A and B are shown apart, each in its own frame.
Chain A
């Protein structure tokens, strides 16, 4: 139940802007949707949908699913190729992109490349901090390896969807589609190989994508504030910062 509460609190906290808007008025025809979309971008919808989906997946899961063995071969969509997602999902994509764009940006004084490197570095750092803290605070056992309690949320899914979202933001949906396909493969590989439940990868993907679009939107609006989760005695805290 603790996980359910955390998911619900996160969902409410992080989508508070969307809730506040709908509570202000019941007359939908008078809401300025254009201003809302311009101010917040897709982040509230990613958070609302992502955490709702993760909560539903968690609620309809049976706790008896722990087992010290992997799934049967016919029920693994990626068969024995899940290890590919395991290897490339450790944040290598984020690192290689940041280094390559940084090299181009500072080496050839390319402002757009510098911005790409900066956005990927920031988003990856916030995503990593949040997922590591949540893994430690929640300590959920992995489905196929119950001796390991780092299941929720999926760091692979978080890092890969942060990467895919930044690629989409900086290079458009053409490259973004390929990056999202790769991120989807990495996330599925984690369920395929019994390292994660479905709600782990949905929550991870939501965290990564939300940070990418949220940080980008804040930079566009000239309000580069950020927040992250931090461990505190007997729990976790929310830290916010504002650059000025």
Chain B
């Protein structure tokens, strides 16, 4: 749900830039919870709760002068999915566990001479045949980001303006139906403040984005919205040395969509809420 690889924090350079020949390896473990709710006047009509452990391996390479490549693999384990439906919905409550390869990702960024501006394109893709039991992303997300960095004596300000298309997702549900999530676009800005104290750092950041319509379709259930927005925030603590770094973080984000109901007097909305807490180790040479 969060915009791609661009949101990842980079210990050795806030924008994740590597000089020609430099290599960075990152391993992280994060507990991720996501809640999808479809509401009418705060009454939840259907709800899906996902929670799992995400393990991520990423390698970064300084390819040429001013170009950095990153490739990553994300695996979900200990996943649990709970589904609850209002009596007016023709589906039954359900529960399942899931685990498997969530996605692979790649990004390429070009940066300015002073390393204060960068342009990144990235993509993240899951197994094509996604099921509720195999944790796959179910499609491809791709986007681009303009990154910026401004250093003051007491704080480093950095962030990025991003646009991301969450591509079409097809997932086979437990009841045998195939659910399709149509592509939609996110556009927004993330802003971070990083305070360095010798080897320690503290980062406080947030983002705001606008989205186009979030639409899900299946033979028994269709949901249509026409626009949305999403805020989010992160708090992070880190310890950094020239060759290695460690960080822990907690982040929360949400998306709210304006649903198109057949009855215009009813106030329907779609809500996606996500939070994660994690630990990451990085090596740099």
Which A residues fall within an 8 A CB radius of B?
28-29, 33-34, 37, 42, 45, 49, 52-53, 56-57, 59-62, 64-65, 67, 69, 71-75, 77, 143, 173, 184, 188, 191, 197-198, 201-202
With A60-B184, A64-B226, A71-B258 given, name 18 new contacts (CB 8 A): A33-B113, A37-B112, A49-B144, A49-B146, A56-B163, A56-B165, A56-B185, A60-B183, A64-B224, A67-B264, A72-B269, A74-B267, A75-B256, A184-B189, A188-B210, A188-B229, A191-B227, A202-B163
Q: Assess the B228–A75 pair: CB atoms within 8 A.
A: yes
Q: Assess the A198–B227 pair: CB atoms within 8 A.
A: yes
Tally of contact residues, B, Cβ under 8 A: 41
Contacts of A49 on B, CB cut-off 8 Å? 119, 144, 146, 161, 163
Q: Assess the B117–A42 pair: CB atoms within 8 A.
A: yes
Residue among A52, A67, A71, A198 making CB contact with B211, cutoff 8 Å: A198
Q: Which residue of A lies closest to B213 (CB)?
A: A62
Contacts of B264 on A, CB cut-off 8 Å? 67, 69
Q: Assess the A57–B113 pair: CB atoms within 8 A.
A: no
Comparing B1-9, B49-57, B62-70, B131-139, the segment that makes contact with chain A is B62-70
Q: Which residue of B lies closest to A33 (CB)?
A: B66
Least distance between A76 CB and chain B CB atoms (Å): 8
In angstroms, Cα B69 to Cα A28, docked, is: 14
In angstroms, Cα B185 to Cα A29, docked, is: 33
Residue with the highest number of chain B CB atoms closer than 10 Å, among A59, A77, A201 = A77
Q: List 11 A-B contacts (CB under 8 A).
A: A33-B66, A53-B144, A53-B187, A64-B260, A74-B267, A75-B269, A143-B227, A188-B208, A188-B210, A198-B210, A198-B211
Which B residues fall within an 8 A CB radius of A?
64-67, 112-113, 117, 119, 144, 146, 150, 161, 163, 165, 182-185, 187, 189, 208, 210-213, 215, 224, 226-229, 231, 256-260, 264, 267-269
Q: Assess the B212–A60 pair: CB atoms within 8 A.
A: yes
How many A-B pairs fall under 8 Å by CB? 99
Contacts of A29 on B, CB cut-off 8 Å? 64-65
Contacts of B267 on A, CB cut-off 8 Å? 72-74
In angstroms, Cα B64 to Cα A24, docked, is: 17
In angstroms, Cα B161 to Cα A116, docked, is: 26
In angstroms, Cα B226 to Cα A65, docked, is: 6
Least distance between A45 CB and chain B CB atoms (Å): 6
Contacts of B260 on A, CB cut-off 8 Å? 64-65, 67
Q: Assess the B119–A77 pair: CB atoms within 8 A.
A: no
In angstroms, Cα B150 to Cα A119, docked, is: 25
Q: Assess the B163–A57 pair: CB atoms within 8 A.
A: yes
In angstroms, Cα B119 to Cα A28, docked, is: 15
